[in-house]
Amino acid sequence: MANADCIVIQGSNMAEAHPVGYQWVMEARSRGARVIHVDPRFSRTSANADKHLPIRAGTDIVLLGALINHVIANDLWFTDYVKAFTNASSIIEGDFADSEDLDGLFSGFDPATGTYDNASWQYADASADGADGADGGHGASTATGVPHGESHGESHGSGGPQLEHGEPARDETLQDPRCVFQILKRHYARYTAEMVEEACGISRADFEYLARSMTDNSGPERTTCFAYAVGWTQHVGGAQFIRAAGVLQLLLGNMGRPGGGIMALRGHATIQGSTDIPTLFNLLPGYLPMPKAGAHDSFEDYVDSIGSKSQKGFWAESEAYAVNLLKAWWGDAATAENDWAFDYLPRLTGAHGTYQTTMRMLEDGLDGFFLLGQNPAVGSANGRMQRLGMSHLKWMVVRDFSMIESATWWKEGPEIESGELKTEDIATEMFFLPAANHTEKAGSFTQTQRLVQWRQQAVTPPGDCRSELAFMFELGQRLRERLRDSTDPRDRPLLDLTWDYPTDEHGEPDPESVLKEINGYHVGGEQDGVPLSSYTQITADGTTAGGCWIYTGVYADGVNQAARRKPGSEQDSTAAEWAWAWPANRRILYNRASADADGKPWSERKKYVWWDEDTQRWTGKDIPDFPADKHPHDLGDADEGGAAALAGNDAFVMQADGRGWLFAPSGMVDGPLPTHYETVESAIPNPLYGQQANPTQMTITDRDNMNAPGITGTAAEGEVYPYVFTTYRLTEHHTAGGMSRFLPYLAELQPELFCEVSPELAEEVGLEQNGWATVITPRSAIEARVLVTRRMRPLQAAGRTVHQIGIPYHWAQGTEAVVSGDAVNDLIGMNLDANTQIQNSKVIACALRPGRRPRGPALRDLVADFQDRAGISPTTAESTLDIGPTTAEPSAELAVDDPRGADTASGEEH
Amino acid sequence: MTSFQFLEWPVIRQLRGADRLGRGAAVTSKATRSTAPRTSEADTVVQSVCPYCAVGCGQKVFAKDNRVIQIEGDPDSPISRGRLCPKGAASEQLVNSTRRITTVRYRPPYATDWQDLDLDTAMDMIADRFLEARRNHWEDEDEKGHPLRRAMGIASLGGATIDNEENYLAKKLFTAAGAIQMENQARI
């Protein structure tokens, strides 16, 4: 980021949430870069930016789409870059229909299921009807896409939407009405500065400033960078917000170049690592998908769904990556004859995310629950349902440092106070196992830019505190011991598991031995056991084994590369000898795009990776993200798949066609192009389409998870929830507070929950500075101290005044932490993005009134009273979902005041 | 307090020594001169990484007699250049918090308070319950006969604050056991 000439921070309060990282933004700014912050709130980031643009929460695609339109309409796009590296010239199937044609829907939508069939979004085959400039070729069908069908977010890993092969029909002149560029142009034609003013509440002058800042600072000599955080991901449609920035950055030529890109600012020490080596339901290590029942019954079906062998780039080798993993887990029991023990993997049947799991708890479908350093009673949406779900468990294991609220809900949770639960009636058996902290164990974190950093152990853990490594290893030992004599086939995967890590005198497994397995090693032959040094060494014949293919090289030469600590002051700015970045210690992905189609740097100023004619190799300041000796003018071997098929300008080496995708033929479940929808609770009609909300949104239909009526309620019922709040973090606290509210230093710095309101809103509602306010949603009500501040500014949008409220979310009720307060996530419903299963936490309709909330049972009465006034009730719960189709059963048979018992509503999603 | 010594009077020291403006050595007290940084007592120092957000700031962890006594920013880190935010700077308190729990706590069904439990016993109980939950909600195949081979009675949540190696073992073990409902903060 220090190399950027313009930085747009949107969906992030970086100075507050990533303060030490923000020094690089300040560094860029001190060198003359322009920094712009787009956010509903003026925050510490805005204070350290050149300009703050307040935006109506949830309208980011209108703004980004208008920037795309501005760039295309005014011919400001980086022509050479776009033509060389993106899919702008690719021709899309003739029966594709855009949201412009279908009033907010794309072709392929099935209203009964709320899902798309993406068959019509595919590239037209080069061998089919006459597209210009395309070489005919392969593929028997008329479209070069995935096996058509419903698109499911959980069905592929994040890098891996696949194509049959990488040679679509193209029109290099970009004039064909069916080419991506023309589709893109039409799609965003109505996303104008006027529309931005109307929808986002951003003035034309401010839009002009933003557009000019970006376009002036993009091109061969200059680069612009985006930064976002959960201000983008925690939306229904959040994945499309990020894609919209991706489309814009591709048009401006800012991907794969120094000072460019889209920086995802992640919030936990190794949240990147826990996605790479995932504790996530839908993924296996290295972004291999978990297999799905029916679709992946055979290993061949599974591997083909990840990447066709004839497609371009490195996903064509997915079979090798999968065999490598299975070999690492099941060793000698994984053979060619049994498809490498593929059948040992359990299968998915849809989404099994954390919110689906919550609903399963409430249905008594779950016996036991492990928490490993997470506090869902405070940190997850609809906290009350989280805690009620826990009361349905048979047992729960909490592994943490202190008595977090997810460990004490049965004793002093809000439902004990409200009378909904009684401690003596709760059957859940609770285990609290104290955890070792980051100084008491060695291991690696992967930070937000894929850098894997090893920590040395400083001391041994006290008392019963143990690392998760020791806990998991020991649990595995005991499970295997108990099953030792089992003849049940279901136990073979546990018994055949490679589980023989060397331990120290305390029985703690050696973390480096696990890292070595993650890295991978040769199997058999002379090199048996020798660590691999590159993922290109991975084979599909069982002669290599490794736990996470993208981490191959982290233990190259038998050396822990993540532990490298050559001081930054002794290195250049790439700092390649500090720790290790996946993949292959590469610091900027797709960096082939930092050179032009001929392999020459776009400019001296932005020189990074280039083709060296003398050595006939790619070289530069980073590890080139390209086959090292592939000439820039190489046409690629179309008869081969994989890396060999890449042409010399196919910079996006993980994409099935080697190109950056302006239009996504596959991989997104809610449309190939980012499209603006209002949030489900929005009282403002969608200014662009008849389709009000994202048609694929997954709403958990339940009487405890009802939504505000939005536009369906405004006319008849008046606006019962007239305001919008957005949640955020503070520097002095960390997420649900488990690592901050228990520390006196931090608790003293930010002792109390507050809400930020504008002076205008304070006057409208009658709030006093430092007094109390009660915030009410259809889920719950909380109280917070009032902070009246000009940082919140009412916006004029859609012909009305929009009041937005800012609320940090780190507090919880209880006596164990140093400070307490209401849990803001109790207010938030489980409305999920269908791509990611992540909830909307950023645009929530609410009521606001002065004073504290009621105590005891009166709290639920207050919530129910507002529900009644809004005309929402369990019997109308499904009507709020008419915005998006639902197949869920109405839960009309349930009484409103029925404390949740065993016979509760099903938590179906759609 | 020691007896007054005329020559040690600050004004005299200021006039006698090189610090004529009285902004350095001349005005330091004996107490100041006898202080030393906590880190000087450390018998070990290791390079670590901050456990809070994902910037990955370098930390130096100073320990004495197997106890962490100070955590500071690591100036060698090209990411953080020695800096820490309030959370990172407070992480010594995270390590040595008086509110930290260091023994196993157990609450039987319907009990109103925690009890003590031996770690080994707790591990046995958890292993037994794990296998029971696995049996209770085991699914061999779906209604169309496609194999499922999974244990729907067990779930876990968490992973973004623990190590890659720990996530790896967790995923490996749970997947082998058929427990697919495994999630972490990245979903939230």
Nearest to A147 by CA among A168, A136, A163: A163
Grade residue A881 by pLDDT with cuts at 50, 70 and 90.
very low
Q: Which of residues 460-519 of A touch B (CB under 8 A)?
A: 460, 462-469, 472-476, 478-479, 482-483, 490, 493-494, 497, 499, 509, 511, 514-515, 517-518
Please give the structure tokens belonging to residue A116: 């798309």
d(CA A474, CA A477): 5
**pLDDT exceeds cutoff 50 at A156:** no
Lowest mean pLDDT among A402-416, A585-599, B4-18: B4-18
SS (H, E, C) A567-628: CHHHCCCCCCCECEECCCCCCCCCHHHHECCCCCECCCCCCCEEEECCCCEEEECCCCCCCC
Q: State how far Cα B76 lies from the chain centre.
A: 21
Given this model, what pLDDT does residue A865 score? 94
Grade residue A670 by pLDDT with cuts at 50, 70 and 90.
very high
d(CA A410, CA A898): 19
List CB contacts (< 8 A) between B146 and chain A.
293-294, 297, 347
**pLDDT exceeds cutoff 60 at A148:** no
- Give the dihedral sign, CA A671/A674/A676/A679: positive
Lowest mean pLDDT among A170-174, A377-381, A653-657, A894-898: A894-898
Grade residue A161 by pLDDT with cuts at 50, 70 and 90.
low
Lowest mean pLDDT among A523-537, A709-723, A893-907: A893-907
d(CA A416, CA A842): 28
Choose from A20, A344, A363, A810 for mutation: most chain B CBs within 10 A. Answer: A20
d(CA A96, CA A115): 16
φ and ψ at residue B67, rounded to 5 degrees: -135, 135
Task: Evaluate the omega torsion of the peptide bond into residue A601 and state whether it is cis, within 30 degrees of 0.
Answer: no
d(CA A245, CA A237): 13
Q: Per residue in A751-802, pLDDT tens? A: 999 999 999 999 999 999 999 999 999 999 999 999 999 999 999 999 999 9
Given this model, what pLDDT does residue A127 score? 61
Given this model, what pLDDT does residue A147 score? 37
List CB contacts (< 8 A) between B75 and chain A.
567, 569
| Contact flag B187-A483 (C-beta cutoff 8 Å) | no
Q: Which of residues 28-67 of A touch B (CB under 8 A)?
A: none
**pLDDT exceeds cutoff 80 at A316:** yes
Q: Does residue A302 belong to the interface with chain B, where contact is any CB pair within 8 Å?
A: no
Residue ranges and CATH numbers for the domains of chain A are 6-264 (3.40.228.10), 698-881 (2.40.40.20)
| Contact flag A346-B105 (C-beta cutoff 8 Å) | no
| Contact flag B87-A410 (C-beta cutoff 8 Å) | no
List CB contacts (< 8 A) between A390 and chain B.
none
Mean pLDDT of chain A: 91
**pLDDT exceeds cutoff 60 at A898:** no
Neighbouring-strand partners of residue A725: A805, A844
**3-class DSSP state of B39:** helix
Given this model, what pLDDT does residue B66 score? 96
Grade residue A49 by pLDDT with cuts at 50, 70 and 90.
very high
Given this model, what pLDDT does residue B17 score? 81
Given this model, what pLDDT does residue A506 score? 81
Neighbouring-strand partners of residue B141: B147
Choose from A439, A506, A569 for mutation: most chain B CBs within 10 A. Answer: A439
ipTM: 0.92
Looking at residues A854-874, what average pLDDT do you find? Answer: 92
* A299-306 and A318-330 helices, crossing angle to 10°: 130
Q: Exposed, middle or buried, A758 (CB in 10 Å: 0-12/13-18/19+)?
A: buried
| Contact flag B186-A567 (C-beta cutoff 8 Å) | no
Task: Identify which of A21, A271, A424 has the shortest CB distance to residue B112.
Answer: A424
| Contact flag A401-B75 (C-beta cutoff 8 Å) | no
Q: State how far Cα A16 lies from the chain centre.
A: 20
Element (H, E) at A481: helix A468-482
- The answer to whether the beta carbons of residues A332 and B165 sit under 8 Å apart is no
**pLDDT exceeds cutoff 60 at A138:** no
CA distance A447 to chain B (A): 5
Given this model, what pLDDT does residue A131 score? 39
* Closest Cα in chain A to B79: A21
Grade residue A124 by pLDDT with cuts at 50, 70 and 90.
very high
DSSP 3-state percent helix, strand, coil across chain A (nearest 5) = 30, 15, 55
| Contact flag B181-A399 (C-beta cutoff 8 Å) | no
Q: Per residue in A531-562, pLDDT tens? A: 999 999 999 999 999 999 999 999 999 999 99
Q: Which is more confidently placed, A181 or A899?
A: A181
d(CA A795, CA A154): 37
Given this model, what pLDDT does residue A17 score? 96
Lowest mean pLDDT among A282-286, A699-703, B66-70: A699-703
Instruction: Tell the residue number behind the tokens 């932490």, with chain if given.
Output: A817
- Looking at residue A173, the DSSP 8-state letter turns out to be T
- Give the dihedral sign, CA A508/A509/A515/A518: negative
Looking at residues A868-876, what average pLDDT do you find? Answer: 77
Size of interface A-B (CB pairs under 8 A): 477
d(CA A630, CA A609): 13
Q: Per residue in B118-164, pLDDT tens? A: 999 999 999 999 999 999 999 999 999 999 999 999 999 999 999 99
Residue ranges and CATH numbers for the domains of chain B are 1-35 (no CATH), 38-96 (2.20.25.90), 105-187 (no CATH)
List CB contacts (< 8 A) between A441 and chain B.
163
Considering the entire predicted model, what is its pTM? Answer: 0.92
- The full DSSP string for B108-171 is -TT-SS-EE--HHHHHHHHHHHHHHHHHHTEEEE-TTS-EEEEETTEEEE--TTS-HHHHHHHH
Looking at residues B26-40, what average pLDDT do you find? Answer: 85
Length of chain B: 188
Given this model, what pLDDT does residue A150 score? 41
Q: Per residue in A58-85, pLDDT tens? A: 999 999 999 999 999 999 999 999 999 9
Q: Does residue A379 belong to the interface with chain B, where contact is any CB pair within 8 Å?
A: yes
CA distance A248 to chain B (A): 25
**pLDDT exceeds cutoff 50 at A195:** yes
